[in-house]
Amino acid sequence: MRHPSSLLLGLGLIAAAAPVLGQTAPSPALAPASAQAKPPVATSEGYLKAGQDELKRLQADKPNNRKARNIILFIGDGMGISTLTAGRIFEGQQQGVDGESFVAQMDRLPHTALVKTYSHDAQVADSAPTATALVAGVKTKNGVIGVGPEAIENDCSATAPFKVPSLFEMAEDKGYATGVVTTATITHATPAATYAHVAQRNWEVDSLMPDAAKAAGCTDIARQMVEWPHGNGLDVMLGGGRAHFLPAATVDPEYPAFKGLRADGKDLAAVWQAANPKGAYVWNSDRFNAVDVQKSSKLLGLFEPSHMQYEADRTAAGEKEPSLADMTRKAIAMLSKNRKGYVLMVEAGRIDHAHHAGNARRALQDTVALNAALKAAMESVDLSDTLIVVTSDHSHTFTMSGYPERGNPILGVVAAPIGTPTLAKDGKAYTTLGYANGPGAVSAAERADPSKEDTEALNYRQQSLVGLSSETHGGEDVVARAAGPKAHLFKGTIEQNTIFHILRAALGL
């Protein structure tokens, strides 16, 4: 059964870039391309002055070696360096300014490190081991969550002895508030690493588990979240994946044609509500906006049966679910009630899904949404006692190339001068953005001419080299950026699992 976000449940990927419920949403209009936007510095003197100003800013930065009261870890799933660059240009061009020199919110964080993303058993990792590295401090195997490299994928009994505690479990046990926000399912690999220990990342709900695993006593990820035995449980949980918490006989409250996915008959949303009578359970924007932060002890929001909508589709559909910035702002308000402090993960999970579909437009728009969430956080906290880290779990085969002129639309064809397409050997134009593999693969004989297509359309799929049903992750380093206490420790090139140790040291755990 196909679910509202075109999810391939077995792989956690999307089959296509179609909006929720397979409807063709109107393509949100792009702002006029910034091909005519002039760079803010256009002379040698201007560049020299800009460089001196940036040097002064760097020299003025002083390390904050205080203990952190709060930690917010932002993860752009699949947000490699090429995505950061293209996203910056896209965001600037959307605002009608020079995209190349635009300063995105992530660019404002003062400390940076390159991060190695390989897993214990693979040069190119999936999100399960990378998330485990980020929040539990060990590299592990592709496919498993919250367990060490000694674990055996799909084997519960062989995996159980090798559970590794996450920073969230440690913090909750010490009295901190904890929260997880994502645009993917709340049971997806990255958010699940904060609370789950499982031999197979795809066991998000019991109906996706083999009978042998259930007979061996394995627990699906959704149940692990609701039954989490640390402290008083997660204080904030916001994301998609509502079907993973509802029985197969229960009709979804938003989509009458869809039902829950639980085979055990448990209504985990009701179980959670019974255990948290002062907590708020919400499933749409109206209920979310109505939550009284001061009167609600906890907050559970499940906004789609599967993944939440892409930002472009969310806004086109009338914003029936909150944005990543909305959820971040509300999560901080909820968690800030704890006087000791809090640990919060915020994941832009659908950057990854758009890349898998070979759809750069949605990937970049969700990257802009992550910048908006970061801005909301930075406006809500005091960086003297809050460590903010923005990173990615892995990259993609996403490329940016071709010598386009400054100001050329980032989603357009390569043009120099602007408006005059640069032609490939087959006499056809090609786009600045592309993929090494994926569903957009073409052969020389059949390759369409992008100059005759709307390459900025929401559903446009960039061309790729090797044909695959789903584009793959990339294995190169990603970037970590930070501000606040201990942020200066993000420098040079570091192992991904070292990030956990920096976060733990910042909290003094």
Secondary structure element (H or E) that encloses residue 180, with its range: strand 177-185
- Is the pLDDT assigned to residue 20 strictly greater than 60? no
Instruction: Tell the burial category of 92 from Cβ atoms under 10 Å away from its Cβ (0-12, 13-18, 19+).
Output: buried
Residue 30 pLDDT: 54
**In a domain? residue 56:** no
**In a domain? residue 104:** yes
Q: Name the strands in the sheet holding 236-240, side by side, starting at the edge strand that comes first in the sequence.
A: 280-282, 299-302, 236-240, 177-185, 342-348, 70-76, 386-391, 478-483, 111-116, 493-495
Q: Nearest Cα to 360, choosing from 320, 409, 316?
A: 409
**In a domain? residue 375:** yes
Q: Which amino acid is at 421?
A: P
* 352 marked ligand binding residue: yes
Q: Nearest Cα to 176, choosing from 189, 194, 150, 160?
A: 194
Instruction: Using the structure block, give the residue that is written with the tokens 């005759």.
Output: 452
Of the residues 5, 6, 119, 127, only one is catalytic, namely 127
pLDDT band at 139 (very low <50, low <70, confident <90, very high): very high
Chain segment 76-106, per-residue pLDDT in tens:
999 999 999 999 999 999 999 999 999 999 9
Chain segment 476-498, per-residue pLDDT in tens:
999 999 999 999 999 999 999 99
Number of domains in the chain: 2
Q: Residues 373, 431: one domain?
A: no
* 353 marked ligand binding residue: no
- Is the pLDDT assigned to residue 9 strictly greater than 50? no
Q: Following DSSP, what letter does each residue of 34-84 receive, concatenated?
A: GGGPPPS--SHHHHHHHHHHHHHHHHH-----SPPSEEEEEEETT--HHHH
Chain segment 241-281, per-residue pLDDT in tens:
999 999 999 999 999 999 999 999 999 999 999 999 999 99
The average confidence (pLDDT) of the chain is 92
The token pair at 116 is: 């190695």
* 286 marked ligand binding residue: no
**In a domain? residue 217:** yes
- Is the pLDDT assigned to residue 14 strictly greater than 80? no
Q: Residues 323, 466: one domain?
A: no
Q: Residues 152, 215: one domain?
A: yes
State if pTM tops 0.85: yes
Q: Residues 111, 247: one domain?
A: yes
* 183 marked ligand binding residue: no
- Is the pLDDT assigned to residue 7 strictly greater than 80? no
Q: Residues 381, 423: one domain?
A: no
Q: Is 485 left (phi over 0), alpha (psi -120 to 50) or beta?
A: beta
pLDDT band at 24 (very low <50, low <70, confident <90, very high): very low
DSSP state of 309: P
**In a domain? residue 205:** yes
pLDDT band at 38 (very low <50, low <70, confident <90, very high): low
Q: Residues 291, 364: one domain?
A: yes
* 252 marked ligand binding residue: no
**More confident: 285 or 13:** 285
User: How far apart are the C-alpha atoms of 183 and 75, rounded to whole Å?
Assistant: 11
**More confident: 60 or 176:** 176
Q: Residues 426, 485: one domain?
A: no
Chain segment 201-237, per-residue pLDDT in tens:
999 999 999 999 999 999 999 999 999 999 999 999 9
- Is the pLDDT assigned to residue 10 strictly greater than 60? no
User: How far apart are the C-alpha atoms of 142 and 53, rounded to whole Å?
Assistant: 44
Q: Is 12 left (phi over 0), alpha (psi -120 to 50) or beta?
A: left
Q: Is 469 a catalytic residue?
A: no
Q: Residues 291, 304: one domain?
A: yes
pLDDT band at 69 (very low <50, low <70, confident <90, very high): very high
User: How far apart are the C-alpha atoms of 224 and 205, rounded to whole Å?
Assistant: 10
**Coil, helix or strand at residue 388:** strand
Q: Residues 373, 430: one domain?
A: no
- Is the pLDDT assigned to residue 18 strictly greater than 60? no
User: How far apart are the C-alpha atoms of 292 and 284, rounded to whole Å?
Assistant: 15
**In a domain? residue 53:** no
Q: Residues 236, 186: one domain?
A: yes
**In a domain? residue 16:** no
**In a domain? residue 308:** yes
CB of 40 closer than 8 Å to CB of 233: no
User: How far apart are the C-alpha atoms of 145 and 124, rounded to whole Å?
Assistant: 16
Q: Residues 312, 389: one domain?
A: yes
- Is the pLDDT assigned to residue 33 strictly greater than 90? no
CATH assignment at residue 289: 3.40.720.10
* 394 marked ligand binding residue: yes
- Give strand ranges (E) for 103-165: 111-116
Instruction: Tell the burial category of 374 from Cβ atoms under 10 Å away from its Cβ (0-12, 13-18, 19+).
Output: buried
Residue 446 pLDDT: 86
Range of the domain at 439: 415-471
* 111 marked ligand binding residue: no
Q: Residues 253, 315: one domain?
A: yes
